């Protein structure tokens, strides 16, 4: 959908912002351009809709060289969202969202319907339609910016640090909403950020740039975290690379260990034997309904005549399911004296345990 072939941008003052860039963004893909300030991300983005013109190479959008397409026509197919939002202060929210429909001559009724629809889609209360931008919170204004860019349903969206101006909590929510929305609308998106964690969260693929618009690595977040191409990428990823990888791997991807499982009517003796086989001093107690009753130290079960059901069971406060991340599993391990995370299915039936050894083997 978007193809850079040896694209260059040297400004009239001699600054080379982008050097010989090769990059492809597939249809329906979110490509995040990330890198330190001044490395050429905004320049790269703005060449896509010809707000900045390349000085070398070839840049095609949907098969057409951008230099051969009339800029207004090119931009109608490309929504553009920026950090400073750029809402018109003297126009209402509804009028702001309707900017492009008005430009392309939609009638009032169609425009109004589209504005209403978009406000619902992006989670804006209908009550704010007639307000002015300064009467909204930062997070609401950012949503309006996204709605405006989506108004005529362009196949491509360019987003330049779109969530940079809001606080971390609102930012996390906007990111989540963006991902949900994208799973419905399936736009081709080039998304700029300087925040590697945002890039990892949002990108199908991440393009890591260094100064001068040099593309250091372009790959999926998981591949980049697993194998940084060079020292620049490694240092840009920062510490805790292992934790970041864990956050990207779902529990479903690793096989749970059966664990030291006993039934409530098993004997103390049996529990001790099961624990010994698994090298633990505790057992998981699972009922006939396959639900986890809790866990107990085997020496808490009492004398050899007692059953496990007589013991005082402690809960696994945090349990994980297939769709949770291995990072969530690690968190559950940290929270339990047993040091393991219990995995359950959608009906909270026991599936097994995850151990630190399993996580560490996965990461290695
Ligand atoms: N109009 C311009 N004229 C000269 N240099 C520019 C111009 N716009 C940007 N630059 C320079 O190009 C480089 C890349 O800028 P930019 O693409 O905005 O970086 P980023 O978005 O990654 O922070 C910077 O060194 C910047 O100063
Ligand atoms: Mg920028």
- Output the six-digit token pair for 118: 């978009």
The sign one gets for the Cα dihedral 266, 267, 271, 276 is negative
Note the pLDDT of residue 149: 83
- Span of 78-87, 90-99, 140-149, 241-250 with lowest mean pLDDT: 78-87
Banded pLDDT at 223 (limits 50, 70, 90): very high
Taking residue 66's Cβ as centre, other Cβ atoms within 10 Å add up to: 20
Asked whether the beta carbons of 350 and 344 are under 8 A apart, the reply is yes
| Binding pocket residue ranges, ligand 1, CB within 6 Å | 11, 13, 15, 17, 35, 37-43
Which has the closest alpha carbon to 17: 35, 42, 34?
42
Note the pLDDT of residue 330: 96
pLDDT surpasses 80 at 83: no
For the CA of 213, the closest atom of ligand 1 is 14
pLDDT > 70 in the chain, percent: 98
In terms of DSSP H, where are the helices of 207-299? Answer: 221-226, 231-237, 241-248, 268-278
Residues 3 and 6: their CA atoms lie apart, in Å, by 10
Give strand pairing partners of 314. 295
**Burial of residue 75, with CB atoms counted within 10 A of its CB: 0-12 exposed, 13-18 middle, 19 or more buried:** buried
For the CA of 33, the closest atom of ligand 1 is 22
Helix (H) or strand (E) holding 180: helix 168-185
Average pLDDT over residues 300-311: 74
- Domain 252-363: state its class: alpha beta
Residues 61 and 74: their CA atoms lie apart, in Å, by 9
Banded pLDDT at 51 (limits 50, 70, 90): very high
Banded pLDDT at 301 (limits 50, 70, 90): confident
Residue whose Cα lies nearest atom 7 of ligand 1: it is 11
Average pLDDT over residues 49-66: 96
pLDDT surpasses 80 at 65: yes
Q: In this structure, which ligand is nearest to the CA of 214? A: 1
Average pLDDT over residues 15-24: 95
Residues 347 and 287: their CA atoms lie apart, in Å, by 14
pTM metric for this prediction: 0.83
Write the CATH number of the domain with boundaries 2-248. Answer: 3.40.50.300
Give the domain ranges of the chain: 2-248, 252-363
pLDDT surpasses 60 at 304: no
Q: In this structure, which ligand is nearest to the CA of 21? A: 1
Taking residue 135's Cβ as centre, other Cβ atoms within 10 Å add up to: 12
Banded pLDDT at 68 (limits 50, 70, 90): very high
> Strand locations in 2-89, DSSP E?
2-10, 16-25, 30-34, 56-61, 64-65, 78-82
Q: In this structure, which ligand is nearest to the CA of 164? A: 2
Note the pLDDT of residue 124: 85
Average pLDDT over residues 145-162: 87
Note the pLDDT of residue 349: 96
Residue whose Cα lies nearest atom 17 of ligand 1: it is 40
pLDDT surpasses 70 at 137: yes
Radius of gyration of the chain (CA): 27
Measured CA distances, 252 to 31, 202, 352 (Å): 25, 21, 12
Residue whose Cα lies nearest atom 20 of ligand 1: it is 38
């Amino acid at each position: 959908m978007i193809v850079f072939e040896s694209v260059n941008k040297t400004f009239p003052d001699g600054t080379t912002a982008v050097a010989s860039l090769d990059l492809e963004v597939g249809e329906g893909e979110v490509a995040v351009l990330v890198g330190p300030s001044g490395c050429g991300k905004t320049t790269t983005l703005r060449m896509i809709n010809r707000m900045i013109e390349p000085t070398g190479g070839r840049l095609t959008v949907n098969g057409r060289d951008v230099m051969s397409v009339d800029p207004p026509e090119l931009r109608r197919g490309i929504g553009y969202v920026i950090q400073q939002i750029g809402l018109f202060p003297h126009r209402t929210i509804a009028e702001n969202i309707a900017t492009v429909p008005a430009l392309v001559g939609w009638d009032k009724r169609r425009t109004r319907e589209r504005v209403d629809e978009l406000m619902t889609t992006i989670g804006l209360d209908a009550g704010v339609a007639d307000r002015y931008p300064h009467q909204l919170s930062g997070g609401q204004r950012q949503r309006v910016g996204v709605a405006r860019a989506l108004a005529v349903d362009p196949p491509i969206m360019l987003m330049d640090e779109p969530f940079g101006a809001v606080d971390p909590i609102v930012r996390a929510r906007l990111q989540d909403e963006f991902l949900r929305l994208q799973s419905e609308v399936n736009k081709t998106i080039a998304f700029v950020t300087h925040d590697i964690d945002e890039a990892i969260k949002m990108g199908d693929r991440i393009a890591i740039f260094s100064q001068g618009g040099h593309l250091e690595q372009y790959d999926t977040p998981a591949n980049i975290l697993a194998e940084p191409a060079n020292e620049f990428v490694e240092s840009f990823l920062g510490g805790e690379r292992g934790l970041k990888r864990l956050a990207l791997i779902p529990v479903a991807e690793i096989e749970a260990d059966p664990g030291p499982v006993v039934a409530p009517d098993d004997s103390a003796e049996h529990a001790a034997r099961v624990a010994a086989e698994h090298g633990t001093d505790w057992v998981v107690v699972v009922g006939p309904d396959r639900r986890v009753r809790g866990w107990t130290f085997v020496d808490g079960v009492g004398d050899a005549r007692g059953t496990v059901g007589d013991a005082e069971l402690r809960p696994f406060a945090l349990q994980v399911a297939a769709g949770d991340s291995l990072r969530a599993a690690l968190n559950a391990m940290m929270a339990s004296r047993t040091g393991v995370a219990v995995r359950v299915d959608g009906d909270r039936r026991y599936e097994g345990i995850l151990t630190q050894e399993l996580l560490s083997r996965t990461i290695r």
